[in-house]
Amino acid sequence: MWEKQLNRRLVTTWCHEGLPGTRKSDIGRSGCTTAGEAVRLRTAEETDRRMSTPTGVSGFAAYFPPYRVCLDAWSEWTGNNPEKIRTVVGRGFRMRGPEQSVYTLAATAVLRLIRNYDIDPGRVTYLGFGTESSTDNSAGAVIIKGMVNDGLRTLGLPVLPRACEVPEFKHACLGGVYAIKGALRYLATDGAGDQAIVVSADLAQYERGSTGEQTQGAGAVAMLIEENPRLATLSLEHTGKSSDYRTFDFRKPFLRFNETTPGHLGHLNDFPLFNGPYSSACYLDATVVALRDMFRKMDVSAADYLRNVEAIFMHRPYQRMPETGLALAYLFALGEGPAEDIAELARYCELAGESLEAVREEMRSHPAIGEATPTPQAPDVDPFPKTMSVLRSFRATEMFGAVVGHKLRLGAEAVSELGNLYTASLPAWLAAGFEDALNRDEDLTGKELLMIGYGSGDAAEAIPMHVVPGWAEAASRIGVAQSLADVVPIDREQYEILHAGGYLDIERSRSGEFVVSHIGERSDGPLADAGIEYHRFVR
């Protein structure tokens, strides 16, 4: 009796003082007589609630620098075939301006998200940042938080709270997807009932004359992640994943910066080391493995799923890459399917003059790329030569249009203007896709979408999404088209100056944006700040 009375007093005291553990309403529920029993009951109920509460994406906001390079013009400057560049790569890309950095792009996108969706900043307790272009090896998302709060104060609005997590995620182009998953897991545990913002931002730069030069880009996309989302739920329990270390795929070792001289406002050219054909093979390999993992978890026919899903959004380093990745995944799905799927694959093999059994054997040897490491003598690797031969024939069929072209349709026109945005590539396509569906008057309610992210190295994630009722109202606030409409055309001389990190004095409105005001230069004394960016919000 004495023990029960003491435990009741402990429960009452904890509730009265606001300490973690139980509430007064827990006392006596379901025979609960001790503090431990009350805590266990409350924890079980809260776990059940969180497990049954859907989470996902409620909004997007984008910021793309206005400085646009037309790929037709670029083709003329460099002697490339403009029609081929349009077909394989796209129509244009954006460049960072002299007054911009990856942090200013990200902060501008986050502030737009808060204002476009009337978000109460006090409810945002998670700010995740996905990037491979950060220039500070200590601070990350907290830089963006500080900038956004400065902007909010200037506008007379509440700020993001001190009780806010600020992680940065880096894994090449997959960092943004990992940040989204981190936000979903946070909302399912200690962040239940709060809101999360994830922002992906990057500067894709390649040396002039390299095979990647036409695939440059810059931009940021911010996403609102919350319970009972207004656009689409995300199904983490069915997420497919893949990772495998690829030494020569796409790298950015710090040693590249030795003896380099920063350009205007501290800009360093962040040119990657990459091996084009091998990197493409890694993308294809990882995509197939991640989808295979997802199909296993969902216990569905892979080919049927790809035929019936409403739309697919993928990491897009250039236009042809997701087309090839999805087509290859479909052929693999046919090769692993029932008799009717294998018969369909056989027709494509016949068109290509390839043996069905030889192609299926090549598929079964997967992942062959792990055994096919490039060397200086043989830098190009094709782990699926027979399957890729079949894919080229498959591309000419009506089924290619139905399974690939139609599934990748939403937002495709808009993203052909963006180039490669690294971590922001996939979320930009998603945002453009929702906006495009709204403009086409396509009702996505209840439809399943699929997002496939990839990061060199290599790793991939395949995440199913389900569009919720009322999505159109949230989609009407995205504003991708509005962001793309802000254009400053760049000629050849201006391109070369910007590419070298030089300064251009271009007259334009910067209202609502963050800019780099200056770079610290003091390396000793009472206040060292050498290399630190100082930012300013332009009202």
Residue 10 has what pLDDT? 37
Tell me: cis bond preceding 458? Omega within 30 of 0 counts. Answer: yes
State the DSSP code for 401.
I
Residue 73 has what pLDDT? 98
What is the pTM for the complete model shown? Answer: 0.91
- HSE-up of 250 (CA within 13 Å, CB side)? 27
By the 8 A CB rule, do 148 and 161 touch? no
Tell me: cis bond preceding 367? Omega within 30 of 0 counts. Answer: yes
By the 8 A CB rule, do 235 and 461 touch? no
Beta-sheet strands, E only, within 85-193: 92-95, 124-130, 168-169
Q: Which residue in the block uniquely carries the two structure tokens 């046919």? A: 334
Which H/E stretch holds residue 191?
A: none
Per-residue pLDDT tens listing for the chain (539 residues): 334 433 433 333 333 334 344 444 444 445 555 666 665 655 555 655 556 799 999 999 999 999 999 999 999 999 999 999 999 999 999 999 999 999 999 999 999 999 999 999 999 999 999 999 999 999 999 999 999 999 999 999 999 999 999 999 999 999 999 999 999 999 999 999 999 999 999 999 999 999 999 999 999 999 999 999 999 999 899 999 999 998 888 999 999 998 888 988 888 889 999 988 889 999 999 999 999 999 999 999 999 999 999 999 999 999 999 999 999 999 999 999 999 999 999 999 999 999 999 999 999 987 667 666 667 666 667 889 999 999 999 999 999 999 999 999 999 999 999 999 999 999 999 999 999 999 999 999 999 999 999 999 889 999 999 999 999 999 999 999 999 999 999 999 999 999 999 999 999 999 999 999 999 999 988 899 999 999 999 99
Q: What is the spatial distance between Cα 90 and Cα 213, in angstroms, rounded to a whole number?
A: 13
Residue type at 388 in one-letter notation? M
CATH architecture under which domain 56-538 falls: 3-Layer(aba) Sandwich (3.40)
Query: Structure tokens of 134?
Result: 């950060």
Q: Are strands 67-70 and 448-455 parallel, antiparallel or unpaired?
A: unpaired
State the DSSP code for 403.
I
Q: What is the spatial distance between Cα 118 and Cα 474, in angstroms, rounded to a whole number?
A: 11
Burial of 385 (0-12, 13-18, 19+ CB in 10 A): exposed
Which H/E stretch holds residue 50?
A: helix 35-52
Query: Structure tokens of 148?
Result: 């956004």
Domain segments of the chain as ranges: 56-538
